[in-house]
């Protein structure tokens, strides 16, 4: 089946990697449930239900016409409307969107909520673009995509390069074209126009909640631990915030230009001001803080730590990095980002007894809170911060529980990869069987 996926999707290496990682876990399930093989559920799961690719023309501030490509891969809707973020980054092409959409199916299923899997985005690079350029791009992007969206059809959110600002411009254009104030068509909205408390913080907070459970499972806690977090965007920032609240110290974080080490612990207010509010570069953090230094070559995974949280991008932690982490005494690696650890690095970490939490479980808090946002929109209600955070915490505890319980059931105790893949797969596969060959 994997050979068939490669043949049908040539050159899409990230998609191949994501499929392989899931297929490798499914042997015991198919042995126990031959009905999945008989009905070709796995083969059908590997083929998106719909793939949309479109032209996104827009004019820059000097009135020159610019051209980008837009994507939406609506991968699977057996459990609910398509749900998954939009990524704006120059590296985006069909293979990236498909890997993210494929992962999203299992993540959403694992969350226990009624949402299908999708992902989208564009090769547009927001870096260095003015507000007006970002707005015109978002409006052009939505002028095509709006026809495929809807609260019962497909509900996008943010991802790399897409935050509250971009969601606002896209929702504005959607509302203008459709003449409908359908809050439930987007998540990650601003609080004054239909957004949910905790959605901004959800992926990072959820990551910390999940790791807290991982530590608890081996009678440990965050208290006093040294933590390294890669990235300094949405996920990384709020993972750092919650990890600090749990009593650990984050000593390093990064962006695509390098990383900073701060033995006094990352000053989150300063980091937010530079990276979130001003969209600046991380070296400025070291310029403004005496205890910090900036390193532009080498790897953030060289910094010794007890817990490593890759929260930036795919394949950012390779085998060499894994070996270094193990040598330096790291005991837990949990993926805040999607597929940040290469397959070889995962094998190396697991062989060395490092507890490894895969992204589809660890970072499920973002989409879970998106589902809570949809729930609030449907009932025209809005919950308090504390109540929403409590719901998120409960969801992450139950995702953690589901992973370990399933891993046990299939003879792989403490293996979060096997647990997450199988638990995610069986829920969606059962729904597909019930819905017939469609
Ligand atoms: P942001 O755009 O907010 O931040 C991304 C961060 O990663 C930035 O600090 C960026 O640096 C850094 N980065 C990007 N590419 C590289 C690279 N090649 N090398 C080093 N650093 C890099 O994105 P998010 O925080 O939203 O997303 C981060 C990860 O989390 C992604 O894998 C995403 O798919 C995943 N995720 C996000 C969710 C969400 O709710 N936002 C939900 C679930 C998963 P720079 O500033 O230099 O670009």
**pTM as predicted:** 0.97
Nearest residue to 15 via CA among 107, 90, 98: 98
Supply 50's token pair. Answer: 């719909």
Residues 139 and 240 grouped into a single domain: no
225 is catalytic: no
Residues 176 and 107 grouped into a single domain: yes
How many Cβ atoms are within 10 Å of 31's Cβ, its own excluded?
Answer: 10
79 CA distance to ligand 1 centroid (A)? 27
> Which residue is closest in CA terms to ligand 1's atom 42?
366
Q: How far is CA 49 from CA 37, 45, 84, 240, 265, in A?
A: 19, 9, 14, 37, 46
Residues 139 and 224 grouped into a single domain: no
Quote the pLDDT of residue 169: 98
Residue 174 lies in a domain: yes
Q: Which CATH number do you get for residue 73?
A: 3.40.50.10860
Residue 270 lies in a domain: yes
Supply 380's token pair. Answer: 């025209």
Number of domains comprising the chain: 2
Mean of pLDDT over the chain: 97
**Domain span holding position 80:** 2-19+28-184
222 CA distance to ligand 1 centroid (A)? 24
Residues 110 and 230 grouped into a single domain: no
Residue 394 lies in a domain: no
**What are 32-84's pLDDT values in tens digits?**
999 999 999 999 999 999 999 999 999 999 999 999 999 999 999 999 999 99
Contacts of residue 66, defined as CB under 8 A and 6 or more positions apart, other chains included, come to 57, 58, 59, 60, 137
Q: Name the strands in the sheet holding 332-334, side by side, starting at the edge strand that comes first in the sequence.
A: 292-295, 258-262, 249-255, 226-230, 307-310, 332-334, 355-357
Q: How many residues appear in the chain?
A: 438
Residues 45 and 86 grouped into a single domain: yes
Residues 50 and 108 grouped into a single domain: yes
Pocket of ligand 1 (CB under 6 A): 158-161, 203, 231-236, 254-257, 311-313, 316, 336-338, 363, 366
Quote the pLDDT of residue 232: 98
**What are 333-362's pLDDT values in tens digits?**
999 999 999 999 999 999 999 999 999 999
Per-residue pLDDT tens digits of the chain, which is 438 residues long? 999 999 999 999 999 999 999 999 999 999 999 999 999 999 999 999 999 999 999 999 999 999 999 999 999 999 999 999 999 999 999 999 999 999 999 999 999 999 999 999 999 999 999 999 999 999 999 999 999 999 999 999 999 999 999 999 999 999 999 999 999 999 999 999 999 999 999 999 999 999 999 999 999 999 999 999 999 999 999 999 999 999 999 999 999 999 999 999 999 999 999 999 999 999 999 999 999 999 999 999 999 999 999 999 999 999 999 999 999 999 999 999 999 999 999 999 999 999 999 999 999 999 999 999 999 999 999 999 999 999 999 999 999 999 999 999 999 999 999 999 999 999 999 999 999 998
Residues 339 and 218 grouped into a single domain: yes
> Which residue is closest in CA terms to ligand 1's atom 18?
256
Quote the pLDDT of residue 350: 95
């Amino acid at each position: 089946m994997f050979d068939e996926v490669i043949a049908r999707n040539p050159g899409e290496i990230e998609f191949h990697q994501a499929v392989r990682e899931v297929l490798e876990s499914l042997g015991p399930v198919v042995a126990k449930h031959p009905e999945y093989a008989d009905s070709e559920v796995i083969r059908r799961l590997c083929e998106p239900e719909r793939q949309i690719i479109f032209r996104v023309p827009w004019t820059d501030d000097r009135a020159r016409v610019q051209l980008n490509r837009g994507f939406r891969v609506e991968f699977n809707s057996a459990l609910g409307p398509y749900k998954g973020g939009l990524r704006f980054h120059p590296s985006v092409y069909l293979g990236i969107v498909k890997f993210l959409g494929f992962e999203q199916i299992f993540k959403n299923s694992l969350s226990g909520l009624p949402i299908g899997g999708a992902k989208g985005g564009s090769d547009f690079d927001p870096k260095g673009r003015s507000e007006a350029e970002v707005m015109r791009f978002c409006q052009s992007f939505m002028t095509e995509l709006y026809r495929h969206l809807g609260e019962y059809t497909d509900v996008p959110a943010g991802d790399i390069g897409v935050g509250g600002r971009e969601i606002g411009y896209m929702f504005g254009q959607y509302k203008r074209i459709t003449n409908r104030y359908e809050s439930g068509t987007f998540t990650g909205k601003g609080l004054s126009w239909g957004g949910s408390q905790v959605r901004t913080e959800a992926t990072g907070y959820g990551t910390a909640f999940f790791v807290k459970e991982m530590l608890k499972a081996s009678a440990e806690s965050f208290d006093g631990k040294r933590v390294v977090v890669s990235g300094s965007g949405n996920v990384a920032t709020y993972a750092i915030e919650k990890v600090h609240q749990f009593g650990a110290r984050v000593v390093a974080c990064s962006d695509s230009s390098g990383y900073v080490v701060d033995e006094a612990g990352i000053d989150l207010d300063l980091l937010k001001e530079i990276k979130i509010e001003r969209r600046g570069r991380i070296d400025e953090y070291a310029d403004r803080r005496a205890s910090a230094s900036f390193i532009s070559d080498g790897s953030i995974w060289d910094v010794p730590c007890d817990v490593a949280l890759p929260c930036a991008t795919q394949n950012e932690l390779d085998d060499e990095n894994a070996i270094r982490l193990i040598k330096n005494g790291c005991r837990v690696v949990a993926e805040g980002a999607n597929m940040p650890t290469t397959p070889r690095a995962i094998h190396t970490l697991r062989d060395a007894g490092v507890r490894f939490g895969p992204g589809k479980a660890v970072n499920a808090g973002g989409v879970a809170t998106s589902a809570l946002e949809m729930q609030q929109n449907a009932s025209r209600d809005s919950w308090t911060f504390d109540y929403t955070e409590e719901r998120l915490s409960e969801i992450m505890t139950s995702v953690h529980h589901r992973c370990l319980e399933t891993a046990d059931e299939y003879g792989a105790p403490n293996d979060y990869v096997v647990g997450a893949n199988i638990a995610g797969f069986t829920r969606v596969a059962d729904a597909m069987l019930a819905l017939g060959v469609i």
